Chain A
Amino acid sequence: MQPDFGDFQDEVYADRLHPSRVACFPQEAGILALALGADGTIALALDDGRIALGQQAEPVDLKAVEVHDGVSQALCAGPRGGFVSGGDDGRAVLIDVGGSITELVAPGREWVGAVAAAPASGVIGVACAKTLRLFDAEGKALGAAPPVATTITGVAFNPKGKRVGVAHYGGVTLWFTGGLSGTPKVLPWKGSHVSLTWSPDGRFVVTGTQDKELHGWRVEDGIDMRMSGYAAKVKSFSWSADERWLSCAGSPYVTSWDFIGKGPMGRPPHQFGGSEEFLATHVAAHPTLPVVAAAFEDGRIEMGRFAVEGQVLLKEVGGGLPSGLAWSGDGGSLFMPTEDGELFVVDLEDLKVAAAEQKKQKKRR
């Protein structure tokens, strides 16, 4: 059942500028990636190799810590606080908001191409070229999987954090986190897979491919799903709070595939997007409400609702090329960093109120 938004619905889904407040917080260098901690912290990977750390509520004068001789190539929030970053210096670290570093992998020749964390089990996954290494939430090594045939391009955990998958040329390989030496499950599909996501209901894994398509597998039986129509490689995905929709960047429209029941095959995706010229670079589904926001190449941010026509503009054109997009935990703020070093924060008081209201109603029920 869709939550009832009342008046809020009409206001948000008209095709016009939403009365949101956009603030810009310039940083010391270009921003390559952003991660938000569940505890209200924020980390930015800077293009000079540093990681800037601070609080989401006041993202100014962030503490920039030297981490990589090179730059971060992958950044995510840690499973129990802090952040995980892997770089092209081969180094992977767990870093807390105060800047203290626990080294997971020492610098070396092999680039760290992907990192992921599983809050449910407290496990961290780090892909060093062809090898997946797992660590616990404190950074203690849990083991390494046998190398796969080609470089790992994505790491994702299942919702319980008990299984982990890696994307590589020719498909995806899945292990149990407690059984890296056991026989993995291989989900094959010819071609180069460049990104990976695992559905929050645990039933599907989906990759973006070099051929500008999505490829999905039902984990249970390995059934293939192919979703095409993209103008670029899909490197940003986001699952809706109700676990039903997978939204994707990579085209001028935000596409959201309906994974209810058997999956998206045979059903066209829901789409929105206000320009035919500029591609969506990042998508972020709201943490509780059935809406998804997207950042576009021209600096716009739009928001749409699943299965409802139209969109609303949250941020107008301008600023550098977006390098990330994420919602605060309360669903009231949206963070968009850019390659030019701007951190845009959109405050959406009405969404925050709606999200809080929904939480209350859920509790009452």
Chain B
Amino acid sequence: MDRVPVTVLTGYLGAGKTTLLNRILTEQHGKKYAVVVNEFGEIGIDNDLVVETDEEVFEMNNGCICCTVRGDLIRILSGLMRRKGKFDAILIETTGLADPAPVAQTFFVDEDVQAKAKLDAVVTVVDARNIEARLDDSKEAREQIAFADVILLNKTDLATGADLDRIEARIRTINPAAEIHRTRNSAIDLDKVLDRGAFDLDRILEFEPEFLAAGHVHSHNDDIGSISLTAIDALDENKFNRWISHILQTQGPDILRSKGILSFAGQNDQFVFQGVHMLLDGDYRKPWAPDDPRISRLVFIGRNLDEKALAAGFEACRAA
């Protein structure tokens, strides 16, 4: 059975989340959605099946301090899956202040959810007029950007081109891997927000060039940033596994997301991984193309990242 794709919509109150949600629901696509919301806002939701739930963030007792999950989603997704053939996809609208990590981690941790649903992408809607102020004063706003696979820079009609360029550059310092789209009234082709497969290892192979850029970008007044690392020489698989486990064990709470495509010595296939905090999913995927350089690349998005230490650690994973 195909697993039902789940799209998570985040963003501050008033950014245009519900407008995007209603666009998805009303467009002529012949698909049926189940919508999960944490609070009913002022704008009504144009759908038959809307489930309201209280955010219940639980800590797992698995010794992983950053491993929080959303108990309400486990229950509701498992419950919804009992309705056979009633819908094709699920949309979760989180509150403006929600931390996306427990939502994403729910899909890694709970076997019932995993068996029947898959996280497709985290889509964050931001208001071009006030996103800069929010990035300055709100940890949640920074995390929602850091976590996103797709960012809608919305209400572009209310900002100048120069503003938008500056905002986009700042978003890139936090999250170089996300796709950014400029929108008005959350108007966007739905294939840019749905069916992204952002957590699908095969899709990670199609990473955008930004991801390839070596080096790192720091935001000046911000605790959240990103580091991209590349290596031309093949890596030693054991060394890398030891290193990444150590990094995630010790810095997991600070590393919000990680993604990588790696070339291991003696392997003809690309190794792909992606993670949320300490939780990692990785596997061998398609072979390297004969003519392509086998460049390993990975990106960390998180707080207080020590670029020098990470670069040195990664460097030390080279095969002898």
Q: Which residues of A contact B (CB under 8 A)?
A: 29-30, 32, 47-49, 70-71, 73, 88, 109, 111, 113, 150-151, 153, 169, 190-192, 209-211, 232-233, 339
Q: Verify A113–B75 contact, CB threshold 8 A.
A: yes
Q: Verify A32–B82 contact, CB threshold 8 A.
A: yes
Residues of the A chain whose Cβ atoms lie less than 8 Å from the Cβ of B237 = none
Q: Verify A47–B84 contact, CB threshold 8 A.
A: yes
Q: Verify B72–A151 contact, CB threshold 8 A.
A: yes
Residues of the A chain whose Cβ atoms lie less than 8 Å from the Cβ of B76 = 111
* Minimum CB distance partner of B40 in chain A: A109
Residues of the A chain whose Cβ atoms lie less than 8 Å from the Cβ of B60 = 191, 210-211
Q: Verify A111–B79 contact, CB threshold 8 A.
A: yes
Q: Verify B82–A233 contact, CB threshold 8 A.
A: no
CA distance A113 to B58 in the complex (A): 18
Q: Verify A150–B110 contact, CB threshold 8 A.
A: no
Residues of the B chain whose Cβ atoms lie less than 8 Å from the Cβ of A113 = 75, 79
Which residue of A29, A109, A111, A210 contacts B84 across the interface (Cβ within 8 Å)? A29
* Minimum CB distance partner of A72 in chain B: B82
B112-145 to A contact mask, C-beta < 8 Å, 1/0: 1000000000000000000000000000000000
B41-69 to A contact mask, C-beta < 8 Å, 1/0: 00000000001101010111110000001
Q: Verify B52–A210 contact, CB threshold 8 A.
A: no
- Decide yes or no whether B71 CB sits under 8 A from chain A: yes
Q: Verify B52–A232 contact, CB threshold 8 A.
A: no
CA distance A233 to B84 in the complex (A): 22
- Decide yes or no whether B80 CB sits under 8 A from chain A: yes
Q: Verify A192–B84 contact, CB threshold 8 A.
A: no
Once A169-B58, A210-B58 are accepted as A-B contacts, the answer to whether A151 and B71 lie under 8 Å apart by CB is: yes
Q: Verify B56–A169 contact, CB threshold 8 A.
A: yes
User: What are some 27 contacts across the A-B interface (CB < 8 A)?
Assistant: A32-B82, A47-B82, A47-B84, A71-B79, A73-B79, A88-B79, A109-B52, A111-B51, A113-B75, A113-B79, A150-B54, A150-B56, A151-B54, A151-B56, A153-B75, A169-B56, A169-B71, A191-B60, A191-B61, A209-B61, A210-B58, A210-B71, A210-B74, A210-B110, A232-B111, A233-B111, A339-B84
Residues of the B chain whose Cβ atoms lie less than 8 Å from the Cβ of A48 = 84
Q: Verify A151–B58 contact, CB threshold 8 A.
A: no
* Minimum CB distance partner of B48 in chain A: A69
Most chain B CB inside 10 Å of its own CB: which residue of A29, A32, A47:
A47
Interface size classification for chain B: 20 to 34
- Decide yes or no whether B29 CB sits under 8 A from chain A: no
CA distance A47 to B59 in the complex (A): 32
CA distance A209 to B61 in the complex (A): 10
- Decide yes or no whether B83 CB sits under 8 A from chain A: yes
CB distance from B47 to the nearest CB of A (A): 14
8 Å CB contacts to A: which residues of B271-309?
none
Task: Return the 3 tightest CB-CB contacts between A and B, nearest first.
Answer: A47-B84, A211-B61, A191-B61
CB distance from A43 to the nearest CB of B (A): 16
B245-282 to A contact mask, C-beta < 8 Å, 1/0: 00000000000000000000000000000000000000
Residues of the B chain whose Cβ atoms lie less than 8 Å from the Cβ of A29 = 84
CB distance from A293 to the nearest CB of B (A): 23
Q: Verify A47–B79 contact, CB threshold 8 A.
A: no
CB distance from B90 to the nearest CB of A (A): 14
Given contacts A48-B84, A210-B69, 7 further A-B contacts (CB under 8 A): A71-B83, A88-B83, A111-B79, A113-B79, A151-B72, A153-B75, A191-B60
Residues of the B chain whose Cβ atoms lie less than 8 Å from the Cβ of A339 = 84
* Minimum CB distance partner of B71 in chain A: A192
Residues of the B chain whose Cβ atoms lie less than 8 Å from the Cβ of A30 = 84
CA distance A211 to B61 in the complex (A): 6
B161-193 to A contact mask, C-beta < 8 Å, 1/0: 000000000000000000000000000000000
Residues of the A chain whose Cβ atoms lie less than 8 Å from the Cβ of B56 = 150-151, 169
Residues of the B chain whose Cβ atoms lie less than 8 Å from the Cβ of A191 = 58-61
* Minimum CB distance partner of A130 in chain B: B54
CB distance from A86 to the nearest CB of B (A): 11
Residues of the B chain whose Cβ atoms lie less than 8 Å from the Cβ of A192 = 58, 71
CA distance A216 to B29 in the complex (A): 50
Q: Verify B75–A151 contact, CB threshold 8 A.
A: yes
CB distance from A244 to the nearest CB of B (A): 29
CB distance from B4 to the nearest CB of A (A): 14
CB distance from B112 to the nearest CB of A (A): 7
CB distance from B231 to the nearest CB of A (A): 37
CA distance A192 to B60 in the complex (A): 8
Residues of the A chain whose Cβ atoms lie less than 8 Å from the Cβ of B59 = 190-191
CB distance from B199 to the nearest CB of A (A): 21
Residues of the B chain whose Cβ atoms lie less than 8 Å from the Cβ of A150 = 54, 56, 71
CB distance from A68 to the nearest CB of B (A): 10
Q: Verify A190–B61 contact, CB threshold 8 A.
A: yes
Residues of the B chain whose Cβ atoms lie less than 8 Å from the Cβ of A190 = 59, 61
CA distance A70 to B79 in the complex (A): 10
CA distance A71 to B76 in the complex (A): 12
CA distance A190 to B56 in the complex (A): 14
* Minimum CB distance partner of A33 in chain B: B82
Most chain A CB inside 10 Å of its own CB: which residue of B51, B56, B61, B111:
B61
CA distance A339 to B110 in the complex (A): 20
Once A151-B71, A192-B58, A211-B61 are accepted as A-B contacts, the answer to whether A71 and B111 lie under 8 Å apart by CB is: no
Residues of the B chain whose Cβ atoms lie less than 8 Å from the Cβ of A70 = 83
CB distance from A196 to the nearest CB of B (A): 14
CB distance from B251 to the nearest CB of A (A): 24
* Minimum CB distance partner of A49 in chain B: B83
CA distance A169 to B83 in the complex (A): 25
Residues of the B chain whose Cβ atoms lie less than 8 Å from the Cβ of A169 = 56, 58, 71
CB distance from A70 to the nearest CB of B (A): 6
Q: Verify A88–B80 contact, CB threshold 8 A.
A: yes
B71-99 to A contact mask, C-beta < 8 Å, 1/0: 11011100110111000000000000000
CA distance A73 to B74 in the complex (A): 14
Residues of the A chain whose Cβ atoms lie less than 8 Å from the Cβ of B51 = 88, 111
CB distance from B117 to the nearest CB of A (A): 15
Q: Verify A71–B82 contact, CB threshold 8 A.
A: yes
Residues of the A chain whose Cβ atoms lie less than 8 Å from the Cβ of B79 = 71, 73, 88, 111, 113
CB distance from A166 to the nearest CB of B (A): 14
